[in-house]
Structure formats: structure tokens, C-alpha cells
């Protein structure tokens, strides 16, 4: 079986598995990787960019090598190749968990239980929940759904199309490392620099594809394009900017503004200034848009894989 068909069947099966099963309750492969990366950090940590770069190389290189070895071992068997691709896709995408957490917060807000929503928000994003009212929580959820559509679904499919199983595992390793050490704290300002920059590079194509598909799948294509062009570059993140701006335009809402991370207040630019404030009902709209974008991304990635293999043959 051709490699493009292996990816097509495997990625579709893996995405279906995520839709039906979600993440495993115990022993999630990403959690296993996180523990391994933490063990490497405990040995290598120094307040130095070079040591952080070594940490990134060891962890990401290990994930890519594991994927390459596994893919090579199963290559003689078509069924095993599809099964491996499906398992890898299911392990690295997180669309169902993203939707579940967003809806859990949304239900708490609909019931008027702001404290329950605050308690659940850290499962979805790193905001300081005590600093947020109901409207702020709803906005944080919509922004997190937008950004994680790229990080947890589309980006993985893009790199799977490029590199097969090693690409899937490598992208998730990069994204996980950025979440672990890539933030700007006193401990990781230098040590996490390489992980953060590599995540910017790896996330670039998936973020643009996510933004483009959101303009197609949303309710206001013109508004999504307008917000993307006008406001994406004002966001401090080169990848979250296009995604959040296009989601804001597609949903007709305003995102961005003041937020708090780890006690640090940030004043971010408003995205889609012509939109209205986020309402609780927009959480479900954002989840549905995320689902549509994920399905479209599967089709684009499969087509891209076929095109790449066609040119190589």
C-alpha cells in the first residue's frame, strides 16, 4: 500500500478514535513523554540556553527516532502500518478532550456557577481564574478552543502529512515541551528558549491552515479574513494571532484584551474590534467551528500527503 494511503486511512481512523473515545484516562502517551522530559530536565537543567537546546534536541529527537523505528518495523505489513498511524494520530490529537473541557466550563456558566467554572478553567488554559468574571471566563475558553484547534489537531495532521508517524510524534513532542518549559518564568527564560522558538517554527504551517479553514468553516468568511489581516500581527504570538483573529471574525466576537497568567497581567490587543463581546453561548459555537476545522484539516492533509508522494515517485 502506498504511503499516502496508509496516512489517509490511519489518520482518519485515529481522528475517529479520538472522536469516539477521547483521551485515555490513564497512561496517556503524551503524559508518559512529559514524565520522560521531566526526568531529562532534572539531569540537564542549567540557567543557560545551550543546555535548554540540548534538552529540546534529546526529547524531540527521541520522539522522532521512536516514530521512525516503529514505522520502519511495520512497513512490510499494510495493516500494521495503518494501525500504527491510527494509534499515533489518536495519541497526539486532542480535539475531543478540548471540546469536553470547553463544554464543561460552558455548562457551569450557563447554570450561573462561576466558581465551578473557575475551578475547571485550569484544565483548559493557564489563565488565573480568580481574576476572571463570567464574561472573562467565556472569552478565555473561546480563545483556548481557537489556539488549541491548531496545537492539538491541525498542526499534528500537517506534520503527519509531511513526515508520517515521526512527524506526528515530533510535533506533539515540540508542543508538549513548549507547554512545560517554553513559558517566560525565572526558571525557564533561558532554558526554555529553544523549545519556545522550535514550537513557533513547528506551529507556523498549522496555525495558518487553521486560520484559513476557520474562514471557510465559520459563519462570516469576510469578517474572518478582515480580522485576520487587520489584527493577527498585533498579537504577541506569531501563531496564536492568526488563529484567534480568524476565529473571532468567523464567530463575530471580540477576543484579546487584559488577562493574567501566573500573577502577571498582560494587556493584549483586541482582535476583531468590530465584533461583540463573547457570550456563554459562543463557547458551543467555537467548539463546533473547531470540529469543522479539524475535519477539513484531515482532508487537506491527506491531499497534501498524496501530492507529496506523487511528486516523489
In this predicted model, what pLDDT tens digit does every residue of 80-93 receive, in sequence order? 999 999 999 999 99
Per-residue burial over 108-139, b if 16 or more Cβ lie within 10 Å, else e, is: bbeeeebeebbebbeebbebbbeebebebbbb
> In this structure, are residues 43 and 181 in contact, taking their beta carbons and an 8 Å threshold?
no
Q: Mean pLDDT, the chain, as a whole number? A: 93
The confidence score (pLDDT) of residue 187 equals 93
C-beta neighbour count of 185 within 10 angstroms = 13
Is pLDDT larger for residue 306 or for residue 102?
A: 102
Rounded CA separation 126/8 (Å): 34
> Where do runs of H (alpha helix) occur along the chain?
3-21, 29-44, 49-74, 78-92, 95-110, 114-120, 134-149, 155-181, 193-217, 221-231, 240-251, 281-312
Which residue is associated with the grid cell 511528486?
311
pLDDT above 70 for 1:
no
The confidence score (pLDDT) of residue 265 equals 66
Q: What is the pTM of this model?
A: 0.94
The confidence score (pLDDT) of residue 126 equals 80
What is the per-residue pLDDT across 187-242, written as a single tens digit (0 to 9) for each?
999 999 999 999 999 999 999 999 999 999 998 999 999 999 999 999 989 999 99
What is the per-residue pLDDT across 265-304, written as a single tens digit (0 to 9) for each?
677 889 999 999 999 999 999 999 999 999 999 999 999 9
Is 47 strand, coil or helix?
coil
The confidence score (pLDDT) of residue 17 equals 94
In the structure grid, which three cell numbers stand for residue 277, read together?
A: 463581546
> In this structure, are residues 182 and 165 in contact, taking their beta carbons and an 8 Å threshold?
no
Is 240 strand, coil or helix?
helix
Work out the pLDDT band at 160, boundaries 50, 70, 90: very high
> In this structure, are residues 204 and 239 in contact, taking their beta carbons and an 8 Å threshold?
yes
Work out the pLDDT band at 311, boundaries 50, 70, 90: low
Q: What are phi and psi of 46, to 5 degrees?
A: -145, 155
What is the per-residue pLDDT across 64-78, written as a single tens digit (0 to 9) for each?
999 999 999 999 999
SS3 sequence, 139-194? HHHHHHHHHHHHHHHHHHHHHHHHHHHHHHHHHHHHHHHHHHHCCCCCCCCCCCHH
In the structure grid, which three cell numbers stand for residue 105, read together?
A: 466550563
pLDDT above 80 for 313:
no
Amino acid at each position: 500500500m502506498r504511503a499516502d494511503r496508509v496516512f489517509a486511512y490511519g489518520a482518519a481512523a485515529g481522528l475517529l478514535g479520538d472522536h469516539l473515545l477521547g483521551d485515555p484516562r490513564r497512561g496517556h502517551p503524551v503524559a508518559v513523554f512529559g514524565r520522560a522530559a521531566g526526568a531529562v530536565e532534572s539531569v540537564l537543567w542549567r540557567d543557560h540556553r545551550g543546555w535548554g537546546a540540548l534538552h529540546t534536541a534529546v526529547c524531540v529527537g527521541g520522539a522522532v527516532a521512536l516514530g521512525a523505528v516503529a514505522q520502519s518495523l511495520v512497513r512490510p505489513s499494510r495493516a500494521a502500518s495503518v494501525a500504527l498511524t491510527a494509534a499515533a494520530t489518536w495519541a497526539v490529537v486532542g480535539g475531543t478532550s478540548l471540546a469536553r473541557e470547553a463544554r464543561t466550563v460552558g455548562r457551569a456558566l450557563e447554570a450561573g456557577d462561576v466558581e465551578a467554572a473557575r475551578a475547571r478553567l485550569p484544565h483548559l488554559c493557564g489563565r488565573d481564574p480568580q481574576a476572571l468574571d463570567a464574561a472573562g471566563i467565556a472569552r478565555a475558553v473561546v480563545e483556548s478552543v481557537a489556539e488549541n484547534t491548531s496545537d492539538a489537531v491541525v498542526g499534528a495532521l500537517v506534520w503527519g502529512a509531511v513526515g508520517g508517524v515521526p512527524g506526528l510524534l515530533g510535533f506533539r513532542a515540540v508542543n508538549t515541551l513548549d507547554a512545560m518549559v517554553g513559558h517566560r518564568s525565572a526558571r525557564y527564560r533561558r532554558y526554555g528558549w529553544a523549545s519556545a522558538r522550535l514550537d513557533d517554527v513547528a506551529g507556523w504551517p498549522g496555525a495558518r491552515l487553521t486560520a484559513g479553514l476557520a474562514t471557510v468553516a465559520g459563519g462570516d468568511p469576510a469578517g474572518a479574513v478582515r480580522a485576520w489581516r487587520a489584527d493577527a500581527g498585533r498579537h504577541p504570538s506569531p501563531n496564536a494571532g492568526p488563529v484567534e483573529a480568524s476565529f473571532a471574525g468567523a464567530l463575530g466576537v471580540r477576543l484579546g484584551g487584559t488577562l493574567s497568567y501566573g500573577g502577571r497581567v498582560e494587556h493584549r490587543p483586541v482582535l476583531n474590534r468590530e465584533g461583540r463581546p463573547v457570550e456563554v453561548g459562543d463557547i458551543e459555537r467555537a467548539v463546533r467551528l473547531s470540529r469543522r476545522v479539524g475535519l477539513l484539516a484531515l482532508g487537506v492533509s491527506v491531499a497534501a500527503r498524496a501530492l507529496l508522494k506523487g511528486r516523489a515517485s
